[in-house]
Amino acid sequence: MLRAYDRLAMTAAEKHQAARTSTSVPPPVAGRCPPPRGGARLNGRAGIRDVAAAAGVSITTVSDALNGKGRLPDATRSHVREVAERLGYRPSAAARTLRTGKSGLIGLTVTTYGEEPFTFTEFAYFAEMAAAATSAALARGYALVILPAPARSGPAGGGGPDVWSNVALDGTVVVDPSAQDPIVSELLRSGLPVVSDGRPSDSLPVAAWVDNDHEAAVRGILDHLAESGARRIGLLTGTSTDTYTRLSTTAYLDWCERVGQEPVYERYPAHDPCAGAVAADRLLARPDRPDAVYGLFDPNGTDLLAAARRYGLRVPEDLLLVCCSESPAYATTAPPITTLSLKPGRIGNAVTQLLIDAIEGLAPARPVQRVMPTELIVRTSSRRGSARTTVSAPRAPASE
Amino acid sequence: MLRAYDRLAMTAAEKHQAARTSTSVPPPVAGRCPPPRGGARLNGRAGIRDVAAAAGVSITTVSDALNGKGRLPDATRSHVREVAERLGYRPSAAARTLRTGKSGLIGLTVTTYGEEPFTFTEFAYFAEMAAAATSAALARGYALVILPAPARSGPAGGGGPDVWSNVALDGTVVVDPSAQDPIVSELLRSGLPVVSDGRPSDSLPVAAWVDNDHEAAVRGILDHLAESGARRIGLLTGTSTDTYTRLSTTAYLDWCERVGQEPVYERYPAHDPCAGAVAADRLLARPDRPDAVYGLFDPNGTDLLAAARRYGLRVPEDLLLVCCSESPAYATTAPPITTLSLKPGRIGNAVTQLLIDAIEGLAPARPVQRVMPTELIVRTSSRRGSARTTVSAPRAPASE
DNA sequence: GCTGTGTGCAGGCACGGTTCTGCACGAACC
DNA sequence: GGTTCGTGCAGAACCGTGCCTGCACACAGC
């Protein structure tokens, strides 16, 4: 059996050799081929042709053997694999991508403010979300590339060459897409699957989106504060028009109207960390000072705590505090601060799974809309009177 | 002038059309070409051929016009650009990569523990470092891909297809490379530039590396604690053999020997968040309990603080505390804890610049070794007696 | 007029795989 | 013994772009 195979292999090798020689150097034609074309180009590494020659088979057979396709006896398959291993053969990702049209790369982009490639005020959220997305992508054989959004929407344009056109993507995750983002519309026009983190505008026909139920989260927090004895609840919110800010603020105003409380809120540009401290101060300096505050952004907790100290307000006796944050640091502040976690890890995972489903054609016809729950981690800053334990925080950074 | 150009263009278009027809359908040959080969393949998008046909020029001219090469009059150049724009032409990144050998992608990988794609205990460090590396790469026209290290070094192998072989990289940043990491040696063998964050083993001929001066940092902290009145300084360290742990521990032991103090330290597996709390407890439960502790890892600060409370030790009166962390949360604990920042943003930036220099051939012959300074942020937990302010912390999360 | 010289652009190969098609050959069957 | 059928593999057409080569033409100089 093996002997028969060996004879076959020899014959094939001879034939191949003959064909190769007579083809690559057609005697009468002028001398071209600056490199002898038989040696190793490819920057010194072996190509599929070298493997084929060394194994005494054709290129097709090498490709089939390594990719588990075609009809090949196990003897040939293992022989080719062995030779490829010996030569240290690594297939060229670029060539494969060109031929198959699939690169195994998915993009991740997010609206930017200023120089940072992603929103600084949501750094913890984004870091955790991106980490989960990276994990999920790798687990399914994809790699994740972080790409910049266009610098603001000004005429300046991003500095340097366009990175977007230099990477072959199979699909893209977009965080908090805006309706007029040229990148997103370009992606959609080109037919690439796009999945968004955050409810997109109706005019963006993304394949799927994932978002928290921000309205329900805000209602839950306000109810919780009211149950803890708050009479006038204030809000620290942003001036940006992204979905998160808009939905949360609207939910706050609706809640106020429903329970008959006059809204008490301050807005500030959320991308400016200093403005947050100033806004926290403003909120507590008002004549109609609230006795509870919910802050929409991560640094609001420490800012509000500092402002409360300046005004001599005790937390939680004089002021109840909740903020939206992913930082475990709020478990160890004095006092520990109740936080709303958006569970970015879950979102990053979900959004990646949906994108890869869409890439691999597993997607349903209609766009998938998935709403993920948030988690309220109740700590001292929002407990007053009877310590009513609702949800306890993990004592160490959650391993998600 | 324009008229003359138009006539030329018409002529060229006709010639091109003729050549196209006669070449793509050699009349006597049998009917192949399943798709008519004149329409748009490429998944519905326009290719360079379509642009050439629509502009009435050759493929070469399109390529030259768009890439700013060749000898072309401005009229032709702008005409081609206009047509390309009108057709929504986007060059194929895969084809360009295959042809030029440059993908514009750089990899980032780090030794893993368990399932996460990067070391969890150093999450804040890695997140900040990766963010800076991403920014730096994008600013120079590259995109960054996070890739997994091989799952442990066991025979199991990472689940799923090999992502490494599916992405074409121009170079790789490796965090804390181990000498026997098969990925790194494979990268080096293949001739790809590799730059490491963390001093590599001598057997790894990387193009460059960047690291903090860990020994100096540890000496600085121990001196600082001694100046604050510490008589017996303990260390919370890891069981791992990575460079950071090893150098820091050695520096501690050397310092102890120099000043004549008996070393007091506990080791624990740094990838296990629970083990850290237990080790902190063990350290403070010892009969030769230290009156100051330096913790090498991020969660050690809160863990030590909690342990101190359990033993009724006041910070800083009974126990001085310093830990290595990037978290701004330690500015608001009770009391605020002195931290050593490794400035991962600077490292991520430096390592990326060096890698791209190497990729673009700007690198010197000898490997570059760059040592970056650390920053000790002195807070209440290590000040005793006269409040000696050394370096003050920024009050908000530093914008780097 | 015939040969340099320079400009403007077309032809065509190469990059390194993947895959469709089809040939050769042995075996089984009527 | 010719006709199927199935197996094992080779040929060659792609994928879309970059770049090297070289032709055609215009113009200038002797």
Residue from the list A94, A131, A163 with its beta carbon closest to the beta carbon of B141: A163
Looking at A94-103, A175-184, A272-281, which range is the least confident one? A175-184
A122 to chain B: closest CA residue = B397
- pLDDT digits 0-9 by tens, B212-247: 999 999 999 999 999 999 999 999 999 988 889 999
Chain A contact probe: residue of B145, B281, B309, B380 with most A CBs at under 10 A: B145
Tens digit of each residue's pLDDT (9 = 90 or more) over B91-111 = 999 999 999 999 999 999 987
Axis-axis angle for helices B300-310, B273-285 (nearest 10) = 40
pLDDT tens, A141-186?
A: 999 999 988 654 444 445 556 899 999 999 999 998 887 788 888 8
Of A108, A133, A118, A106, the closest CA to residue A344 belongs to A133
Which residue in this structure is represented by tokens 């998938």? A368
Strand C nucleotides in reach of protein CB atoms, 7 A cut-off:
7-21
Check residue B183 and give its pLDDT.
Answer: 86
pLDDT top residue among B277 and B1: B277
Look at residue A362 and tell me whether its pLDDT is greater than 80.
Answer: no
pLDDT at res. B21 = 35
Query: Taking CB atoms and an 8 Å limit, are B144 and A143 in contact across chains?
Result: no
Mean pLDDT of A302-326: 94
Going by C-beta distance under 8 Å and a sequence separation of 6 or more, which residues neighbour residue A364?
none
- Give the residue on B whose Cα is nearest the Cα of A95: B98
**Per 3-state DSSP, what percentage of chain B is helix, strand, and coil (rounded to 5)?**
45, 15, 40
CB pairs under 8 A between A and B: 182
pLDDT tens by residue, A385-398: 544 444 433 333 33
Determine the average pLDDT of the residues in A18-31.
35
Closest C-alpha to B116, from A341, A127, A249: A127
**Summary mean pLDDT of chain B:** 82
* pLDDT confidence tier of residue B385, bands split at 50, 70 and 90: low
Give the up-direction half-sphere exposure of residue B252: CA atoms within 13 A in the CB hemisphere: 24
User: Predicted confidence band at B202 (pLDDT cuts at 50, 70, 90)?
Assistant: confident
DSSP B205: -
pLDDT for residue B393 = 34
- SS3 (DSSP) at A400: coil
pLDDT at site A389 = 41
pLDDT at position B101:
93
Residue B44's pLDDT band (cuts 50, 70, 90): low
Among B166, B188, B192, B303, pick the best mutation site for testing chain A contact (most A Cβ within 10 A). B166
What three-state secondary structure class fits B134?
A: helix
CB pair distance less than 8 Å for B93 and A131: no
Asked if pLDDT for residue A122 goes beyond 80, the answer is no
Question: How high is the pLDDT of residue B138?
Answer: 92
What is the distance in angstroms measured between the alpha-carbon CA of A56 and the sugar C1' of D9?
Answer: 12
Nearest-CA distance A1 → chain B (Å): 32
Q: Answer for B63: CB within 7 Å of strand D.
A: yes
* CB within 8 Å: B104 and A163: yes
Q: What is the pTM of this model?
A: 0.84
Task: Give A4 to chain B, closest Cα distance, Å.
Answer: 34
**Contact in structure between A193 and A226 (CB atoms under 8 Å):** no
Asked whether the bond before A364 is cis by omega within 30 degrees of 0, the reply is: no
Return the structure tokens found at A298: 């991560």
Partner-chain residue, chosen from B163, B299, B396, that has the shortest CB–CB distance to A138: B163
pLDDT of residue A391: 40
D strand bases under 7 Å from protein CB: 7-21
Q: What is the pLDDT of residue A14?
A: 41
B80-114 residues labelled b (16+ CB within 10 A) or e (exposed)? bbebbeebebbbbbbbbbbeeeebbbbbbbbbbbe
Q: pLDDT value at position A364?
A: 67
* pLDDT tens per residue across span A284-301: 999 999 999 999 999 899
Percentage of chain B beyond pLDDT 70 is 78
Nearest residue to A238 via CA among A291, A297, A197: A297
3-state SS assignment for residue B288:
coil
**Runs of H (alpha helix) within chain A:** 2-24, 48-55, 59-67, 74-87, 93-100, 123-139, 182-189, 214-227, 243-259, 273-285, 300-310, 344-359
Torsion angles phi and psi, residue A175, rounded to 5: -90, 125
Give distance CA A53 / C1' C22 (Å). Answer: 22
At residue A5, the pLDDT reads 40
Nearest nucleotide to B92 by CA–C1' distance? Answer: D16
- The dihedral sign for the CA sequence B100, B63, B40, B21: negative
CA dihedral of B107, B112, B118, B124, whole degrees rounded to 10 = -130
Neighbours of B363 (CB within 10 A): 18
